[in-house]
DNA sequence: GAACGTAATTATGAATGCAAAATGCAGTCA
DNA sequence: TGACTGCATTTTGCATTCATAATTACGTTC
């Protein structure tokens, strides 16, 4: 049993915090990132901050220009077009693997999350819905039991996750998404990986379609 | 010993070079990476080198331990088990997209690479075969015209690419791989994305199976 | 007032410095 | 022999410093 407590290094902590700020739109796409300001904000020197920026750049969340510093990567329509097909494929695999690997406790946990998501939907509480939705997908990802899949899914998903701040999900799409989640839960409970994978893929492609439609308007 | 660098941004160049060294097994799995030595080797200070190591760590090629520095990530059987299913899926998508996007020049280029690969096969020249093989996959990846897919494919593939140093491909598997490549070229020429995707997926899974078998022996 | 050129200021890339942690090595004791 | 301790050395994480590229400020000219 290894319970060694070690303070995470500054650069790792900074990477997480900055990534979170980008995902949560606290740093907006296109925004310049002056090192000095963030150093002051976090109370650290430029060295670990710059290390964090390099990592975020390799994840595609930040763009580095030589001698011009860093800015938050834009979320472009082209990127969405190229990302969603990949993401849909990964989702399908997540579904297939999760259905065959998940245990009863896992199904119970997802069911609980599903119910609280439904509650948020009925209450019209979008932030809570969004969080529960995220948690469900995270739970399925974990249940798939493939950490390579998990890390790459996160990497791909993170970049387009920010698109949610670009448009507002329509009520009809919201209801549709709920229906898809109902389907997912059914297939998960039946441990039908094939079906779950198909629904999750479709779910992701529908999200993409809705996003595109909203962006066009 | 002294390979001075004069390209803009040392850390980017260092990242590329170190990644290459890891892929080419010049830095072996598990090997410790003392910053001082590499600084001397490249003639740079520790700052950009450390930035590069952070990036490689986020790619999973290097493992960082707090206050203990960096070592080259091991290639484990568990990792292969989890990576190949993902990689096979990505390959399938590459095939589907490449077949529909590629132009006549592209097909000609792949055909040329294919022929030189065949020549290497007949000559029993494994290094040359391996390079041509890589080039074909790169060409198809580029032809797919999806840079998100491309970057993530590279990310996933790089980690298991190193497994080729663990075992020697058998002659029977080699011949089988050649046959699969013949199939691929046929489907590519016919621009049959569905079929190409299937073959490429199967090709990858067969590679995995052969690798596993060789490791077991 | 706009366009341009040049000096002052600022921000960035990389090297160096410093404190803390880890490692290696005698020497000690069982 | 083997484990432990104390100390010197090395290595690492981060802060600071330095050089240079980029940006701004400002005057000049048209």
Indicate yes or no: CB of A151 within 8 angstroms of CB of B60.
yes
As ranges, strand D nucleotides with an atom below 7 A of a protein CB are 11-17, 21-23
Indicate yes or no: CB of A82 within 8 angstroms of CB of B151.
no
Give the whole-angstrom CA distance, residue A64 versus residue B121: 43
Per cent of chain B over pLDDT 90 is 96
Nearest alpha-carbon partner for A162 in A217, A80, A91, A94: A80
Tokens of A147: 């950490």
pLDDT of B2 > 50? The answer is: no
Q: What are the start-end ranges of the E strands in B3-117?
A: 32-33, 62-65, 69-72
As a whole number, mean pLDDT of residues B9-27 equals: 96
Give the whole-angstrom CA distance, residue B41 versus residue B26: 13
Give the whole-angstrom CA distance, residue B131 versus residue B137: 10
For residue B178, how many other CB atoms are within 10 A of its CB?
17
Give the contacts of A173 (CB within 8 A, at least 6 positions apart): A206, A210
pLDDT of A92 > 50? The answer is: yes
**Per-residue pLDDT band at A3 (split at 50, 70, 90):** very low
**What is the tens place of the pLDDT at every residue in B22-53?**
999 999 999 999 999 999 999 999 999 999 99
Question: How many CA atoms lie less than 13 Å away from A208 in the CB half-sphere?
Answer: 22
**What is the tens place of the pLDDT at every residue in A154-177?**
999 999 999 999 999 999 999 999
Q: From the Cβ of A51, is strand C under 7 Å away? A: no
**Alpha-carbon gap: A93 to the closest alpha carbon of chain B (Å):** 8
Predicted pLDDT at A90: 98
The SS3 of residue A69 is strand
Task: Please tell me which residue of chain B has the smallest CA distance to A97.
Answer: B85
Predicted pLDDT at A2: 42
pTM of structure: 0.93
Contacts of B148 in chain A (CB under 8 A): 79, 82-83, 86, 156
**Per-residue pLDDT band at B4 (split at 50, 70, 90):** very low
Instruction: Find where tokens 């059987």 sit.
Output: B77
Is the Cβ–Cβ distance between B210 and B173 less than 8 Å?
Answer: yes
As a whole number, mean pLDDT of residues B86-98 equals: 98
Q: From the Cβ of A68, is strand C under 7 Å away? A: yes
A/B interface, count of CB pairs below 8 Å: 77
pLDDT of B72 > 70? The answer is: yes
Q: From the Cβ of B69, is strand D under 7 Å away? A: yes
**Per-residue pLDDT band at B7 (split at 50, 70, 90):** low
The SS3 of residue B62 is strand
């Amino acid at each position: 049993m290894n319970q060694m407590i070690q303070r995470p290094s500054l650069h790792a902590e900074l990477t997480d915090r900055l990534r979170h700020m980008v995902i949560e739109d606290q740093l907006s796409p296109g925004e310049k990132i002056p090192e000095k300001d963030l150093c002051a904000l976090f109370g650290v020197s430029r060295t670990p901050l710059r290390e964090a920026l390099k990592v975020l750049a390799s994840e595609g969340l930040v763009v580095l220009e030589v001698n011009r510093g860093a800015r938050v990567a834009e979320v472009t329509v082209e990127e969405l077009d190229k990302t969603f097909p990949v993401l849909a494929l990964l989702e399908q695999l997540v579904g297939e693997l999760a259905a065959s690997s998940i245990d009863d406790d896992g199904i119970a946990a997802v069911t609980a999350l599903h119910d609280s998501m439904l509650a948020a939907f009925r209450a019209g509480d979008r932030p809570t819905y969004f969080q529960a939705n995220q948690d469900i997908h995270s739970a399925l990802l974990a249940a798939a039991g493939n950490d390579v899949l998990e890390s790459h899914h996160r990497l791909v998903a993170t970049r387009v996750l920010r698109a949610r701040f670009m448009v507002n999900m329509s009520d009809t799409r919201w209801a549709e998404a709920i229906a898809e989640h109902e389907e997912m839960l059914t297939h998960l409970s039946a441990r039908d990986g094939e079906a779950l994978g198909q629904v999750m893929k479709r779910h992701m492609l529908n999200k993409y379609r809705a996003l595109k439609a909203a962006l066009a308007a």
